[in-house]
């Protein structure tokens, strides 16, 4: 059974072949790119996960990761021969999800892939990190379940919070007045106080801070309203 495509970006043939063999045995389809640029070209919304060597001939794995992160939160495992790279992986907040150090056993590698895929797709096929509305942003919307994920963590939102965030996500950067947000969300906006919007926003910020403390996701525009952070 084919589970989906894993993109392997690795220039060493022997290592690549071992990885391909081990993952094929597990039922994964692999696309192998020997260079960073080829890998970037091959990446698409069917890619389940990327195994990314750091030392590549044409560009570094870090740069490949940066490019990918501009448009996608796909799980990335770095492959490195140097332990010193690990600090960079962890320190730069590049958005890698895990790393393996060469030499590694195929079995250990498969276990990491499986664990990461389980973590990132936990219990839901319908959470859509590549949702059109969320291109390049660390959000996923599941409209059927009324759920929003942030860095692949499910946000425990109230109904109003969900509706406000969903509205903001539709047009990142666009400023919505409290009145506009209320009209989008409340059945009878007249009966609600604008302060209520502030309270919901405050509560959502707290929830997102728990997932990623370094981002101010919802921006306040004095006297105007709120917008969603545009650049990620």
Residues near Ca ion, by CB under 5 A = 11, 53, 55
Burial of 138 (0-12, 13-18, 19+ CB in 10 A): buried
- Nearer to Ca ion by Cβ, of 55 and 189: the residue is 55
Q: How far is the CB of 12 from Ca ion (least distance, A)?
A: 5
Q: How far is the CB of 47 from Ca ion (least distance, A)?
A: 20
- Nearer to Ca ion by Cβ, of 98 and 130: the residue is 98
Q: How far is the CB of 10 from Ca ion (least distance, A)?
A: 6
Q: Which residue, 136, 159, 131, 135, is CA-closest to 147?
A: 159
Minimal CB distance to Ca ion: which residue?
55
Q: How far is the CB of 53 from Ca ion (least distance, A)?
A: 4
- Nearer to Ca ion by Cβ, of 51 and 201: the residue is 51
Q: How far is the CB of 32 from Ca ion (least distance, A)?
A: 13
- Nearer to Ca ion by Cβ, of 53 and 85: the residue is 53
- Nearer to Ca ion by Cβ, of 8 and 49: the residue is 8
Q: How far is the CB of 51 from Ca ion (least distance, A)?
A: 12
CA dist., res. 62 & res. 93, Å (int): 10
Contact between residue 2 and residue 34 where contact means Cβ atoms under 8 Å apart: no
- Nearer to Ca ion by Cβ, of 65 and 164: the residue is 65
């Amino acid at each position: 059974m084919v589970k989906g495509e894993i993109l392997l970006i690795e220039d060493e043939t022997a290592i690549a072949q071992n990885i391909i063999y081990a993952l094929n045995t597990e039922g994964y389809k692999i696309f192998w790119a020997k260079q960073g640029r080829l890998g970037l070209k091959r990446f698409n919304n069917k890619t389940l996960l990327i195994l990314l060597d750091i030392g590549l001939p044409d560009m570094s794995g870090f740069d490949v990761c940066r490019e990918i992160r501009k448009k996608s939160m796909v799980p990335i495992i770095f492959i490195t021969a140097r332990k010193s790279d690990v600090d960079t992986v962890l320190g730069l907040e590049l958005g890698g999800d895990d790393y393996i150090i060469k030499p590694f056993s195929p079995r250990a590698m498969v276990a990491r892939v499986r664990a990461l895929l389980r973590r990132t797709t936990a219990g839901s096929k319908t959470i859509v990190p590549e949702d059109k509305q969320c291109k390049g942003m660390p959000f996923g919307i599941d409209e059927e379940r009324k759920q929003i994920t942030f860095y692949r963590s499910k946000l425990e939102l109230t109904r109003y919070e969900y509706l406000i965030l969903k509205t903001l996500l539709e047009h990142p950067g666009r400023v919505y007045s409290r009145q506009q947000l209320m009209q989008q969300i409340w059945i009878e906006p007249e009966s609600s106080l604008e302060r209520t919007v502030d309270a919901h926003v405050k509560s959502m910020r707290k929830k997102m801070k728990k997932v990623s403390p370094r981002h101010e996701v919802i921006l306040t525009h004095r006297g105007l309203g709120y917008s969603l952070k545009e650049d990620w």
